[in-house]
Structure 1
Amino acid sequence: MDSQCPIQARTVSFTDISNACANKKKGNGLPSPAGCDVFLPLNEVDSLIQPERVRLTLTELRRVAESKMSDGEMSDLVEYIMNHAKKIFLILVITRTIHNIMDVKKRNFEDQHLPVYITGQQTDNQAIHLTDIQGPINSQGTGHSQGSNMLLEDFTWSDAEKDSFYEKQWVFLAPNFSEANFAYTFENYRPLPFLPAATPGGGAGHFGTVQRLKLHFAHYGNIPSLQEAINGSSDKGVDIAVKRLTQIGNETDVAKFYDKENSTLEVMRSLKKDHLIRAIATYKKGNDRYFLFPWAKGGNLQDMLEKDERKLDKDLINWIVCQIVGLSEGIAALHANNIRHGDIKPSNILCDGPDLGASNKSILLIADVGLAKKHEEYTRYRPKITTTRHGSITYEPPEVSPKKELGRLSRKYDVWSLGCVFLELIIWAVYGTNGIKTFHKELNKNATPQFWKDRKVHSGEKVHSIVKKRFKDLKKDLKNLPALAHLVEFIEEKLLKVSVDERPYSTAVYDKLKTIKQDIDNIPEDRFNAELTKLVPKRETPAPAESTNAGTNLATQYVRSPRSWCSWLLKTRPAHK
């Protein structure tokens, strides 16, 4: 005989709902982090709303209110709640107005009509209006896809009941993000399904902030960009980066920037390239604009170059080559869709995968496309040379020289920047973090720490002598590894070409790099051999006393520098291929 007793069903109570809510005030009295408002997760709605529990709650209501509701009416009401009004039922329970449930069914008031708001200032029957707010923006971006304009003027609820329903409904309306929708608009009062991250993170720029939070598992559909994160996450959700754009004074047109970046991010998501960041969603909430991204556990490439002491072996070389080919494919895909990134640099390339320095299984992702240029508009502002020693200016091509007349910029702008990043990747792989620090220390001795410099006597620009020296060192140390040496030569002779006309387009770069990778794959000894092991001691040489950079904390991912925003917002110039 089974000694266990069956679990007895019980009514749905105020306490049950309260206990099921996320982000309640902690036992120590401390509130949840900003952005983590109280909400009832969707899975808890289904957990609370079980037929027998709903029936028992209505039975208790019938007893207390001495209602003459028949068993048939009871069954119809339970069915109505289960199919159409789960959230409304819970709102009525938590506002202690469950006696209004029959009126709700009579008026065909359903969850799909939420949220409701109060219109007018009538003294008696103040109306509850079911408005056309605020679901996913439709494909035309001109309206919203859910809601109605139904006005229930003959509800007989008291003003206090209406006010309470309006105020409490928001707890039950945290949205569900899905692959089918990308851009959303939410009311100020609507909570987002965010939880505090186990490891807090955050950062701020002049025009935006980034916060590390967790997206509740019941509030996202089958979004591909989250699948890898899901595999290594807790059962409560996945870590995300919430990027909020802020407006300061009248100088920043946040709405215009948001619309442009939203368009670019949606294209990037549709391309489904492994090395392009895939945003989860974008949304407006009041006057603020937000972007949601998967949180990159490995920080960014700048972090890696400065701190990652990964072992030099054939796996590392293979990883480097794969990342170089993948990044070039990503940029070629953007260019094929008439999008130029415009600000490629290590801090704008994220490391998706194990934590910093963990393994060769991570993937480099091109991100922070706030300067991406779509269609015929390109904006650029060039302020006085900044003292930032590792900012965007380092990776800008010679065609932006202050000595040159402002003209049209080609997508080959990105090709130069890629060449700079690829060179640094190879320097790091062969000579380690100390090699990168030495390289930038020498580069920063000049007023402008760029990979090129102006000629003093003759007009024009030339590749920086320090860059030339690194190419010479690499070709010497890799002379017995022909395929790798070929990769270095290609970067030197094609990507870091001062003349824009002589620099190839990104599609040609990608095609050539694929060929080089195939050569390396076909001859494994060209990837790593005894000759390369001789370079290991060079990776262990003590670093220069002066660090070239304080480093970029994980929290700064996705944060745009003031200079980059100014570059985007000011001085329009046309673009060409």
Structure 2
Amino acid sequence: MESELEPATVGCDQIYSQIENYDDYNDVFRRFMPSSSIYELTTERKVLSTLQSEFKEEEFKDEELKKLVSFVIENDARRIFLCLTFMEVLRYIPDFMNAKFTDKDLPVRKDGPISGNQLLDKTPFKVERPAKNFPLEGKSRRDRSDFLEKQWYFLSPDCPTGSLEIREFHSKLPMAYLPPLLSNVPISTSNFSVVWRVYLHPDHFRHRQSSSSAESSPEGIEAALKILTVQGVSGDASRDMEKFYLREIKTLQTMAKINHGNLISTIFIYKLGEDRCFLFPWAHGGSLNEFWKSFDKSQHSMDFVAWSLDQMHGIFDGLSKLHQRNIRHGDIKPHNILHFPQNGPGSASGRLVIADVGLSKFHQEHTADRRYTSTTQCTVMYQPPEMKKSKRSRLFDYWSLGCVFLEFAIWIYDGYGGLCTFRKSLKDSQPNLPEDKTPRFWDYEGDQRPKLNTAVENMMDEMQNRVSPLSEFAHALIELIRTKLLNIDAYHGEEIET
């Protein structure tokens, strides 16, 4: 209910105070007014009071004011009303009413409406219905330009997160994103994508909660925004990006149907101009590698071991479900497995979730002729030996998963320090490897046939010979890794049961 103590008249300062990101904005965190603020500032009482104040020096009859109020509220011209008020040119509102120009005609460009749908970007700009004359044509150039800029503040779209259908938005449309406290910079970048940590304003986003889903906070729903950009990309790379983008969408739609607790869920998919954008739940525990590094060793117990085994089983099962749908991940590594904790980061709780399915393959193929980046190094480390293309799909993922599971077992036994020692031994066992290259879990014999890296063989032998309360667990897990996942015979063309 509207308070009688609140100012009845809406002014520029009130509108300014309700526009998010006004003083600290960029291409991601744009200025926008939440939809709840739009309605709070355009109640019948406030609209009438503001109009009375604007036209108090003119001979406006009560009947004429009522028509203007009806135009703003019943005909849905709230955004136009706020934009003109913010510009301090509310005197133009009768021109909009006489032209029957409402919020449905927004946004506009210099020579008329951009589109019949305020969300869609039509290129070239074509009006789907007869264009109405823009009421500010013939007014001052400054007022027209000001309106063209400020109209966007009031046009942040509502995003139906229950569906993974692609939405296409105009490149200038402000998505309802709020930055994390003291940080409005990307958290990671690559040649073709950038990832931001964002809060989704609850007025514009709704998302079903689950163990691996988005989490709400006072700021909004926390999410990871991944943007693929075609800027500076042309030719085959541009065409391949579009191909992989569409394939990724199909993969995410399939994963949504599978609805597996160890596969990443998706909040929203859209295009903003030329940018292709994905919203995923934010993983407060970071990647699996970050979890290994930050884990509180005081929690080490058989319950912790049971949780670890349960997560490994879930990851394997989730990957198998993808394979049943003819989907290969292509880049299984600790950095692409995310931790959604229940008891805070660094705790053995919640779920480990496979993420980044498919798109990483595009990055690999189009950075093959560049020096290794940190992302590529992690990828190469977990790749299997070359194999027949007909068998590449599942074996590729299972080999990578075997590498991750072996590291998981080492970490359970020896902690993150022991894992770092093992990774160093991979490098030491390949003395001829150039400094800028990444060691792998396999090597070549003299006849150029692939074989397990000596450090891997030694580690598995050593773990199977250990005597400890974890012996039964270790022996079974290492046997699975050795015979089913890191089975080098599969890369000699022999069959492997997975």
Partner of 2:404: 421
Partner of 2:119: 135
Is 1:277 the equivalent of 2:264? Answer: yes
Q: Distance in 1 between matches of 2:134 and 2:233?
A: 46
Counterpart AA for 1:443: L
After TM superposition, the structure 1 stretch with the greater mean CA deviation from structure 2, 279-288 or 409-418, is 279-288
Is 1:399 the equivalent of 2:391? Answer: no
Q: Distance in 2 between matches of 1:95 and 1:348?
A: 47
Counterpart AA for 1:222: H
**Contact 1:184–1:283 (CA under 8 A) maintained in structure 2:** yes
Equivalent position to 1:209, from 178, 184, 194: 194
After TM superposition, the structure 1 stretch with the greater mean CA deviation from structure 2, 33-42 or 16-25, is 33-42
Equivalent position to 1:195, from 178, 183, 191: 178
Q: 1:21 deviation in Å? A: 0.8
Per-residue CA deviations over 1:316-335 (Å, capped at 9, x if unaligned) read 11211121112112212222
Counterpart AA for 2:485: L
**Contact 1:81–1:89 (CA under 8 A) maintained in structure 2:** yes
**Contact 2:341–2:348 (CA under 8 A) maintained in structure 1:** no
Per-residue CA deviations over 1:22-64 (Å, capped at 9, x if unaligned) read 1122xxxxx4455222211222112212221112123334433
Decide whether aligned partners of structure 1 residues 440 and 387 sit closer, same or farther in structure 2, where only a CA change above 3 A counts. Answer: farther
Partner of 1:14: 12
Q: How does 1:109-508 map to 2 (within 5 A)?
A: 109-119=101-111, 128-129=112-113, 131-133=115-117, 135=119, 148-153=128-133, 155=135, 158-160=138-140, 161-182=143-164, 183-198=166-181, 200=183, 202-224=187-209, 229-231=214-216, 233=217, 235-246=218-229, 247-248=231-232, 250=234, 252-253=237-238, 254-310=241-297, 311-353=299-341, 358-371=346-359, 390-400=377-387, 409-445=392-428, 446=430, 447=433, 449-457=439-447, 460-477=449-466, 482=472, 485-500=475-490, 501-505=494-498
Q: 1:170 deviation in Å? A: 0.4
Q: Distance in 1 between matches of 2:473 and 2:136?
A: 81
Equivalent position to 1:87, from 79, 82, 90: 79
Counterpart AA for 1:112: K
Decide whether aligned partners of structure 1 residues 269 and 372 sit closer, same or farther in structure 2, where only a CA change above 3 A counts. Answer: farther
Per-residue CA deviations over 1:174-204 (Å, capped at 9, x if unaligned) read 2222224443322232222222212535222
**Contact 2:197–2:225 (CA under 8 A) maintained in structure 1:** yes
Q: TM-score normalised to the size of structure 2?
A: 0.82
Decide whether aligned partners of structure 1 residues 428 and 368 sit closer, same or farther in structure 2, where only a CA change above 3 A counts. Answer: same
Q: TM-score normalised to the size of structure 1?
A: 0.72
Q: Distance in 2 between matches of 1:20 and 1:331?
A: 45
Q: Distance in 1 between matches of 2:263 and 2:169?
A: 27
SS where residue 219 of structure 1 aligns? Answer: coil
Decide whether aligned partners of structure 1 residues 112 and 270 sit closer, same or farther in structure 2, where only a CA change above 3 A counts. Answer: farther
SS where residue 290 of structure 1 aligns? Answer: strand
Alignment gaps of 5+ in structure 1: 26-30, 120-127, 506-577
Q: Distance in 1 between matches of 2:25 and 2:145?
A: 26
Per-residue CA deviations over 1:495-535 (Å, capped at 9, x if unaligned) read 22123354334xxxxxxxxxxxxxxxxxxxxxxxxxxxxxx
Decide whether aligned partners of structure 1 residues 386 and 23 sit closer, same or farther in structure 2, where only a CA change above 3 A counts. Answer: closer
**Contact 1:243–1:290 (CA under 8 A) maintained in structure 2:** yes
After TM superposition, the structure 1 stretch with the greater mean CA deviation from structure 2, 44-53 or 76-85, is 76-85
Q: Distance in 2 between matches of 1:66 and 1:427?
A: 84
Q: 1:356 deviation in Å? A: 7.8
Per-residue CA deviations over 1:319-357 (Å, capped at 9, x if unaligned) read 111211121122122222221110111111122236985
What CA RMSD, in Å, does the superposition of the two structures yield over aligned residues? 3.5
**Contact 1:129–1:151 (CA under 8 A) maintained in structure 2:** yes
Counterpart AA for 2:441: F
Q: Distance in 2 between matches of 1:386 and 1:37?
A: 34
Decide whether aligned partners of structure 1 residues 79 and 430 sit closer, same or farther in structure 2, where only a CA change above 3 A counts. Answer: farther
Decide whether aligned partners of structure 1 residues 226 and 20 sit closer, same or farther in structure 2, where only a CA change above 3 A counts. Answer: farther
Q: How does 1:71-86 map to 2 (within 5 A)?
A: 74-75=65-66, 77-83=68-74, 84-86=76-78
**Contact 2:106–2:118 (CA under 8 A) maintained in structure 1:** no
Decide whether aligned partners of structure 1 residues 498 and 64 sit closer, same or farther in structure 2, where only a CA change above 3 A counts. Answer: farther
Q: How does 1:561-572 map to 2 (within 5 A)?
A: none
**Contact 1:194–1:215 (CA under 8 A) maintained in structure 2:** yes
Partner of 2:53: 60
Q: Distance in 2 between matches of 1:329 and 1:219?
A: 35
Q: Distance in 2 between matches of 1:384 and 1:287?
A: 25
Q: Distance in 1 between matches of 2:484 and 2:402?
A: 9
Per-residue CA deviations over 1:89-125 (Å, capped at 9, x if unaligned) read 2122223343443443454433233222232xxxxxx
Q: Distance in 2 between matches of 1:385 and 1:67?
A: 72
**Contact 2:99–2:133 (CA under 8 A) maintained in structure 1:** no
Percent identity, aligned pairs only, is 31
Partner of 1:509: none
Counterpart AA for 1:444: K
Decide whether aligned partners of structure 1 residues 386 and 8 sit closer, same or farther in structure 2, where only a CA change above 3 A counts. Answer: closer
SS where residue 172 of structure 2 aligns? Answer: coil
Q: Distance in 1 between matches of 2:25 and 2:382?
A: 40
After TM superposition, the structure 1 stretch with the greater mean CA deviation from structure 2, 174-183 or 385-394, is 385-394
SS where residue 290 of structure 2 aligns? Answer: helix
SS where residue 260 of structure 2 aligns? Answer: coil
Per-residue CA deviations over 1:460-502 (Å, capped at 9, x if unaligned) read 3222232222222322336765355323322221122123354
Q: Distance in 2 between matches of 1:88 and 1:213?
A: 28
Paired positions, count: 470
Decide whether aligned partners of structure 1 residues 424 and 199 sit closer, same or farther in structure 2, where only a CA change above 3 A counts. Answer: farther
Alignment gaps of 5+ in structure 2: none
Q: Distance in 2 between matches of 1:382 and 1:157?
A: 54
**Contact 1:185–1:284 (CA under 8 A) maintained in structure 2:** yes
Q: Distance in 1 between matches of 2:345 and 2:242?
A: 38
Partner of 1:536: none
Q: 1:307 deviation in Å? A: 4.2
**Contact 1:188–1:286 (CA under 8 A) maintained in structure 2:** yes
1 or 2 for the larger relative contact order (CA 8 Å, sep ≥6)?
A: 1
Equivalent position to 1:98, from 49, 74, 90: 90
